[in-house]
Chain A
């Protein structure tokens, strides 16, 4: 069975350009997460989608960042007018929906390494 896939694996862009990063979650997983991982930093939560509920956008660092999840499956993270400090690895994870109060394992994709020149 396929795991979480992300594309592109690497992206180099110029400052000020927009970029789109794609995530294909595991089939049947209702929850999808985006994280950012910078050198020496932990995983920084960005946004969380759960089924048809309104997404939790509390981790988005600025209004230049947005994300969509179409049809409850594929998700796209968009960064507008990229800045050098946006350079990082962007990780996507998905999980199934379990009983309330139970831990749900998050399965991660390999990430997209973004470099803003």
Chain B
């Protein structure tokens, strides 16, 4: 079983839709939960992160962590064509997985927002 599972998609939605992206994980020791966005032919860039459980909102983006279910989500409201990218979840802070500077990435979900 992989430490982090993420549906690779692709996910295609119309402009203005609400998008829900999710990851599940198996190691309850993870403490940091991140979402990276990767445009085509570019390196990933950090979009949002949360520490422990709870929600975090930044503009049109909301990150949720449910540690009891080992489930993390990223919601995008009023999606735009410029949101078309691959979204990777990344988990860190687990000594079992190598400590605070080592991240475990999901496979990434490819999102396409069409006008």
- Residues of A at the B interface (CB closer than 8 Å) are 4, 31, 35, 40-43, 45, 48, 50, 56, 58, 91, 93, 95, 100-111
Q: Which of A42, A101, A108 contacts B4 (CB 8 A)?
A: A42
In the bound assembly, the distance between CA atoms of A95 and B103 in angstroms comes to: 12
Q: Closest A residue to B36 by CB, please name it.
A: A108
Binds A, one of B12-20, B41-49, B59-67, B70-78: B41-49
Q: Which of B42, B45, B88, B100 contacts A42 (CB 8 A)?
A: B88
List chain A residues, Cβ under 8 A from B8. 40
In the bound assembly, the distance between CA atoms of A28 and B98 in angstroms comes to: 23
Q: How many A-B residue pairs have CB under 8 A?
A: 60
- Residues of B at the A interface (CB closer than 8 Å) are 4, 6, 8, 32, 34, 41-46, 49, 51, 88, 90, 92-93, 98, 100-108
In the bound assembly, the distance between CA atoms of A48 and B101 in angstroms comes to: 9
A40-B8, A43-B88, A58-B98 in contact; A106/B103 too (CB < 8 A)?
A: yes
**21 sample A-B contacts, Cβ–Cβ < 8 Å, listed by A number:** A31-B101, A35-B105, A40-B8, A40-B107, A42-B106, A42-B107, A43-B88, A43-B90, A43-B105, A48-B101, A48-B102, A50-B101, A93-B43, A103-B34, A103-B49, A103-B51, A103-B100, A104-B101, A105-B49, A106-B103, A108-B43
List chain B residues, Cβ under 8 A from A110. 41-43
Q: How far is the CB of A7 from chain B (nearest CB, A)?
A: 14
| Docked-complex contact A56 and B105, CB < 8 angstroms | no
A42-B107, A103-B49 in contact; A108/B101 too (CB < 8 A)?
A: no
